[in-house]
Amino acid sequence: MKRDRGVFWRVAALLLITLLLWGSIGFAETGERVVSLGADLDVGQRAEMLSYFGVEEDRVNIIEVTNQEEYQYLEGVAGREQIGTRAISSVYLELLPDGEGSKVRTHNITWVTPEMYTATLLTAGVEDVLVTAAAPFPVSGTAALTGVVKAFEEVTGESLSEENKRVAHEEIIILGELAEEADDTDQTTELLQRAKEEVLSNRPLDSEQIEEIIRRHAGELEIQLSEEQVAQLTRFLEKFNELDIDVQELRRQIEHFAADPATRSFFAAALELLADFFMMIVEMLRR
């Protein structure tokens, strides 16, 4: 029993350290924040989202995103099964100090991962933000990217490039489709991030050079791509090749928490530790 108690307190201490570290990452408040709500939320769902984001309606700037706005960027890129007919997913966005990178969390978002959002933010022109994308019930999450872009423009007063926004929405669909067929969604996101960085570092490139980059990184990551997928990624990166994006900024954003596999692995281990901790409590109470 003494041994069990010793393990218990060691686990408890590690858990406390983990929670303190979690709380210290990415919460440097600037006071500049916006909530973007899906326009098709009912009154109860709207209140639920505001409560989840921890904000009061009369103390935060609230905007809405419609399904029509989603289609503005995704028409011809995604089908109705991905976009849906209602705008439900919502976003809390807070500006972080310059150089902090972008950090994304999700709740009830089933199709788009935090890493996918993070990968597409810089493409759209969104930098150094803390984002929570959420919904009152499971949804794909495509409206959330539109919400992030709109919220960023609202809080900064900037108008982002329409072409950058359109390519970013196409990117999130490509990543989602790749993830559907992959065993490891992080790897497919890493593939595109690597390819984006190399394209920006060496542009201008022709389609054959871009295709070679894709095939090489896919081989290094041991990702099997069909010829159709290679062609799709090549077409996308040809468009990305033309965007006004600073490669140094891309590298800096990629290096931060949301896109850092080592950091993600640490917190995955922390969650596993948390589960073990509570199982230990249950076992001790049974004795």
Residue pLDDT, tens place only, 99-108 = 888 999 999 9
The CA distance from 24 to 146, in Å, is 28
Reply yes or no on whether the pLDDT at 246 is more than 60: yes
Sign of CA dihedral 11, 16, 18, 19: positive
Q: pLDDT band at residue 235, thresholds of 50, 70 and 90?
A: very high
Question: Which residue has 């423009």 as its token pair?
Answer: 153
Segment 173-199 shows an average pLDDT of 86
Helix, strand, coil shares, percent, the chain, to 5: 60, 15, 25
Element (DSSP H or E) covering residue 249: helix 247-255
Locate the domains of the chain by residue range: 31-255
Question: Which residue has 């916006």 as its token pair?
Answer: 34
Count of beta carbons in the 10 Å neighbourhood of residue 220: 11
Q: pLDDT band at residue 143, thresholds of 50, 70 and 90?
A: confident
Residue 274: the pLDDT is 47
Q: Do residues 29 and 56 make contact, with C-beta atoms less than 8 angstroms apart?
A: no
Reply yes or no on whether the pLDDT at 13 is more than 90: no
The CA distance from 78 to 170, in Å, is 8
More confident residue, 137 or 186: 137
Residue 43: the pLDDT is 96
Residue 83: the pLDDT is 65
- The percentage of the chain sitting over the pLDDT mark of 70, rounded to a whole number, equals 73
The DSSP letter of residue 258 is G
Q: pLDDT band at residue 19, thresholds of 50, 70 and 90?
A: very low
Residues 6+ apart with CB under 8 A from 231: none
Cα within 13 Å of Cα(96), Cβ side: 19
What is the chain's mean pLDDT, rounded?
A: 80
Closest CA to 129 of 270, 258, 286: 258
Q: List, for residues 38-70, the tens digit of each pLDDT value.
A: 999 999 999 999 999 999 998 999 999 998 998
Q: pLDDT band at residue 245, thresholds of 50, 70 and 90?
A: confident
Reply yes or no on whether the pLDDT at 271 is more than 80: no
Ranges assigned E (strand) in the chain: 33-38, 61-65, 90-95, 103-109, 129-139
Reply yes or no on whether the pLDDT at 272 is more than 90: no
Reply yes or no on whether the pLDDT at 29 is more than 70: no
Residue 134: the pLDDT is 97
Residue 260: the pLDDT is 46
Reply yes or no on whether the pLDDT at 254 is more than 60: yes
SS3 30: coil
Reply yes or no on whether the pLDDT at 4 is more than 90: no
Segment 278-287 shows an average pLDDT of 48
Reply yes or no on whether the pLDDT at 28 is more than 50: no
The CA distance from 161 to 123, in Å, is 10
β-pair type (90-95, 129-139)? antiparallel
The CA distance from 283 to 287, in Å, is 7
Reply yes or no on whether the pLDDT at 197 is more than 60: yes
